[in-house]
Amino acid sequence: MATRTAPTPTPQDDDGSVDNRPPPKDLSHHLSRSTKNREASSIKQFYKYFGIPGIGQLAGGLPNNYYFPFDTLEAKVARPERWQPTPNKPVDPPPKDDNEAASARQQQLSKLSKLHIGALSSPLNQPQDAITVPHTSQQKNPIKKVDLATALQYGTAQGYPPLYYFIRQFTQQYMHPNCPYKGGPEVILTNGNTDGFSKVLQALTNEWSEEKDWIRDREGLLVEEFCYMNAIGAARPRGLNIVPVGLDDEGMRAQGPGGLREVLENWDLKKGKRPHLMYTVTMGQNPTSGVLSLHRRRDLYALCSQYDIIIVEDDPYWYLQFPSSTALNTTTCSDPSNTSFNPSCPMFANAEPRPTHWKSSGYAFLDSLVPSSLHIDTDGRVIRLDTFSKTVAPGCRLGWISAQPDLVERILRITETSTQQPSGFVQSVIAELILGPDHGGLKPTTKSSGGGGGGKGGLPSGEGWKADGWVRWLEGLRGNYERRMQKMSDILEEGQYLVKSGRRSSLSSTITQEDEGEDEEWAVIEKTPLYSFDRPVGGMFIWLRLHFENHPLFPTYSKHPEGPARLAHALWIFWTTKPYLVLVSPGAIFSPTPKIREKDGWRYFRLCFAAIDEEELGGTSRRLAEGVGAFFRIKDKRVIERLLEEDGKGVEARSGRAELAQMMGPC
């Protein structure tokens, strides 16, 4: 289980003390017209009466739960300690021997899994347990009751009560224990972050039409200059101005050319209203992998407070922060030149000192993560999106929103008349895994805590993982992804340069009489940079910049009507051909505006080290690097043009999956 320390008591604890924090600001002026007019669902208001013992329920149009065709839900599940964690502090570069041993172990497990070998070393047949969600639990308390009779029935829009209860406590006490406003953030469950952001847009923006509305009424959305394009895809059809803000290796910039201050101070009202909403991925930024420091967050938050902007923080990668990259990217560790570094000081994964007055979560792992902007949200203007997509599985379509209560209440009204709540199947399985059949909230239960559950949780004892097990699971996932990231980074570093060696005639003026009998040539090695990247401090991606200016055909394609983007597209196609067979995401698709796409988008490619099988990661990374080297040796324009002519032709035939060609969606 996760290493746990005793948190220091604060007014936030359930210890009877008074919460003296100030309330969040009233931000209702940001609500859309439709959201202001929403009222509570009349039928949903009845639900609180359903739990009264002995009441005859004739009000709601609920089907009879005994007619559900599912008697139980059962599954084999991993134990929380299945994967090996990595260190929390970026004090020293990671020991390569440990990483290589763990990586070799993972490759062996993946191979055995593919062979369907039933040995204990298979990743699908390691020490595991079974969970059971019963049809009917005898537990009377609705926040402890996990069964199909309730989970598969119509329910409250806030979420399935047991799971909502756990997520709310985990969010307030462990994820964001230093939220500065009274009561801390409220939560509501969603069908993942895409659903969550869609509801935020409905709540806080009005649709605008060029044919019907004045330009002065057009609202805007602030985004990073390279960003997750599904968010843009949700905002653009509403008529929102998409306003890019410059970024660096951390993420969105507050100052300097293209930074947030410049964008806001120099806003042209002829484009519409100054934006009042910001969308940002602050941890493992997608696609650039930056992690926004607490210092930068304070700078951005001050500007958002000054200009009355609501921050939407989309953080599916929060727990994927990699201290080893901080150690390798910087001299903040044991480097003798850095005399100001104190390795014994509490610090985040990015080596930033942790504020000494902050309350601990009780878990060293959670305390080591760069915190959400909710920790500095004095106004209550941060809306955070969390998801189980990267911690359990994307197909769960389960997440939650954390924000000040008044904003969550408005999103609740949207949910009541749209999705209503996430899948009961998913919520019950996750609840049984984490909470167990008769849980006592976040704390481990005891054998004397009483029965009446009827189900079985995710530990050998039949209990759920609880908070300790959930945090330990997150630690192990971080360890696996961190080792993958370092492996790909090591291989890519080896192929960064095109190396040429040869001999060059020496300068005659340097030859003396005594040298005449010696060779008049000098050995020369030329290194041409092909690409560059920063080791990710978070997330699932490496953001690769190609130095196309060093390609022999760059001058030729710079004069082409399509510009160097044509050369970049040829490389993307070249990678997919034999012997390289590598597919990456072109940076152009993460460009929120045509201007950015044409100016810089073509220079970049996003590489995901997360999804590929462990034993294929090394070979695929090498083929990618070798493909760049081979492409930069092409000097004949006709070769490039042939690649472009064949773009799309025969791809389905090569893959053998022509029937899927029209079914593939964005990823």
Flag whether 280 is in a domain.
no
**Residue 185 and residue 176 in contact, taking contact as beta carbons nearer than 8 Å:** yes
Determine how β-strand 382-387 pairs with β-strand 310-314.
Answer: parallel
Flag whether 127 is in a domain.
no
Flag whether 585 is in a domain.
yes
pLDDT in tens, 501-516: 766 554 444 444 445 4
Flag whether 639 is in a domain.
yes
Closest CA to 609 of 486, 479, 498: 486
Res. 67: pLDDT tops 60 = yes
Burial category of 480 from C-beta neighbours within 10 Å (exposed 0-12, middle 13-18, buried 19 and up): buried
pLDDT in tens, 421-440: 999 999 999 999 999 876 44
Flag whether 623 is in a domain.
yes
Instruction: Name the pLDDT band for 655 (thresholds 50, 70, 90).
Output: low
Closest CA to 396 of 230, 231, 194: 194
Closest CA to 106 of 486, 390, 538: 486
Res. 9: pLDDT tops 80 = no
The mean pLDDT of 326-348, rounded to a whole number, is: 65
Looking at the structure of the chain, the number of domains it has is: 1
Task: Report which secondary-structure segment, H or E, holds 145.
Answer: none
* Chain mean pLDDT for the chain: 86
Res. 206: pLDDT tops 90 = yes
Flag whether 615 is in a domain.
yes
Flag whether 67 is in a domain.
no
Instruction: Name the pLDDT band for 523 (thresholds 50, 70, 90).
Output: low
Whole-prediction pTM value? Answer: 0.88
Instruction: Tell me if residue 543 falls in helix, strand or coil.
Output: strand
- 575 is in which domain, residue-wise? 496-503+523-652
Instruction: Tell me if residue 291 falls in helix, strand or coil.
Output: strand
Instruction: Name the pLDDT band for 138 (thresholds 50, 70, 90).
Output: confident
Q: Is the pLDDT higher at 362 or at 665?
A: 362
The mean pLDDT of 143-171, rounded to a whole number, is: 93
Q: Is the pLDDT higher at 83 or at 109?
A: 83
Please give the Cα distance from 125 to 116 (Å, whole number).
10
pLDDT in tens, 374-412: 999 999 999 999 999 999 999 999 999 999 999 999 999
pLDDT in tens, 569-626: 999 999 999 999 999 999 999 999 999 999 999 999 999 999 999 899 999 999 999 9
Flag whether 270 is in a domain.
no
Instruction: Give the CA count within 13 Å in the CB-facing half-sphere of 515.
Output: 11
- CATH of residue 576's domain is 3.90.1150
pLDDT in tens, 88-112: 988 655 556 555 555 555 555 555 4
Please give the Cα distance from 168 to 201 (Å, whole number).
23
